[in-house]
Amino acid sequence: MSPPLPRPLPTTTTITITTTTTTTTTITSTVGTIFEEATTLQGKKEEEEEEGEEEEEEEVGGLGVCPG
C-alpha cells in the first residue's frame, strides 16, 4: 500500500492573510501621518500660547503691583 498523498494547502488562506496585512499597513501609515500632523499643529499651538503668556506677563508687570 502506498502512503496517502499530502493534501496541498488551500491558497485562499494565503491570499486572505496577505490582504489583511496590506490593509493593516495602509491604515497604520495613514494614522501615523495624521498623528505627525496633529503633533506639529499641537507644537505650533503651544508656541502661540507661550507667546501669548509672555505678553500677558508684560502687561501685568506694567500695572505697578508691588509684592508685600
> pLDDT by residue (tens digit) across 12-51?
555 555 555 555 556 666 676 777 777 777 777 777 766 6
DSSP string, 21-59: HHHHHHHHHHHHHHHHHHHHHHHHHHHHHHHHHHHHHHH
> pLDDT by residue (tens digit) across 49-61?
666 555 555 555 5
Q: pTM for the complete prediction?
A: 0.24
